[in-house]
Structure 1
Amino acid sequence: MPCCHDSRCPGTSSAAARQTVRWRRALWTALLINGGFFLTETVAGVMAGSASLQADALDFFGDTANYAISLAVTGMALAWRSRAALLKGATMLVFALWVLGDTVRHAWIGTLPQAETMGIVGAAALVANGAVALMLYCFRNGDANMRSVWICSRNDAIGNLAVLLAALGVFGTGTGWPDLVVACVMGGLGLHGGGQIVRHALTEAGGPSSPETGRAA
């Protein structure tokens, strides 16, 4: 009995079309949520003087741009999706380095953030990102482009939880060091996640002989 794996097969094409529709819908939802929280945390981070909130806001901005790129390349050839994932990974690395540099600045000037604002905004962001991460969970084993979106969402939820811990630390100690420590951890998480995405994208770009490419195709 012949085996059919490409889009010319009736069952395969309809399943792929449904998967694309689900993927686009999930990306649009994630884009709107992340864009809204980028604006919210940018204002709150500046008002509260929190390095971890500003780091989280910058992460929201990067993810919003990443989701927009993912929407643009959905349905394109694997090579284009791999290039998009490579761009997203590089963007995450740049943002992570910015976060670490800004954390050093806050440490130098001795900023004392507002724990209450950090806690309220961090809790709201955790609920939003938790919902997005659950929504994108089923796409975590797709190609590099899909996997990069899942990694971004997972990192965001972890980052939001870390902001809450920083708020508790600032409130309990009366110093800004918990906020700075969490910002450093988030910067390191961004470096690790960006590196994962870049390595996966480069593996896919290497050709159909690579095991990652074969699984994602």
Structure 2
Amino acid sequence: MSAHCCGQHQQPSGPSDGRQRRVLWIVLVINAVMFAVEIVAGHTARSAALQADALDFLADAANYGISLAVVGTALTWRARAALVKGLSMGVLGLWVVGTTAWNAIAGTVPEAPVMGVVGLLALLANAVVLALLTGFRGGDANMRSVWICSRNDVLANLAVLGAALGVFGTGTGWPDIIVAGIMASLALYGAGQVVRQALGELRPSATVQAAE
């Protein structure tokens, strides 16, 4: 390999990299804890929306771990990490679609009080995460993908709270099913954004490396 691969493409470590790492470690821990809380609560309450949100916390924790691994590395590696995260978001969206269909067929009615309490806790956690990551929303595909995930999570939490009110008011599981569908749409839309930007950052690198 030429020196170009170790030089021009490499982003030197600096204060901004250290700040990214600190923030990513904080949000990784928050998401890991909330995954444990929501997966138990979602199973107990028989809520598809809570279980989907729990897996979203798990996916985000894994994504933040990937982001930590590539902070300060070459743009190509950061774009590849973003591509992996974008594809994982898409898989999550498809999983939620399947879960939503199953609950609709089974006619499951979740426990609204549990949904409301846990949904509020998740909203507060994701609001903290989003505030910490807002400064990185205009960065490269890797860090922008982290911010997009967190933005989608806040919107999903608001929808879960709305579903809890809907289940409580109607006594049916349809509000939970509708919210799960909304969460799937957010995951798929966010995945498309991340994948497009990552591919856009990979194309110039691929062209340069081919020319060498």
Tell me whether the two structures share a fold, i.e. TM-score over 0.5: yes
Conserved? CA contact 2:27–2:129, under 8 Å: yes
RMSD: 1.8
Q: Does 1:188 align with 2:185?
A: yes
| Amino acid paired to 2:72 | G
Q: Does 1:163 align with 2:167?
A: no
Match of 2:124 among 113, 122, 127: 127
**Aligned runs of 1:1-217 on 2, under 5 Å?**
17-207=14-204
The ranges of structure 1 where at least 4 consecutive aligned residues each deviate by more than 6 angstroms after the TM superposition are none
TM-score by structure 2 length? 0.90
The offset of 1:141, in angstroms, is: 0.5
SS of 1:31's partner is helix
**For each residue in 1:42-90, what CA deviation from the matched residue of structure 2 results, as whole angstroms up to 9, or x when unmatched?**
0000000001001101110110000000001111100000000000000
Instruction: Figure out how many residues of one structure are paired with residues of the other and give that number.
Output: 199
Conserved? CA contact 2:48–2:103, under 8 Å: yes
Structure 2: state its 5+ residue gaps: 1-6, 208-212
Aligned residue in 2 for 1:3: none
TM-score by structure 1 length? 0.88
The offset of 1:18, in angstroms, is: 1.1
SS of 1:206's partner is helix
Identity %: 58
Structure 1: state its 5+ residue gaps: 1-6, 211-217
The 1-side partners of 2:119 and 2:19 are apart by 28
Conserved? CA contact 2:76–2:205, under 8 Å: no
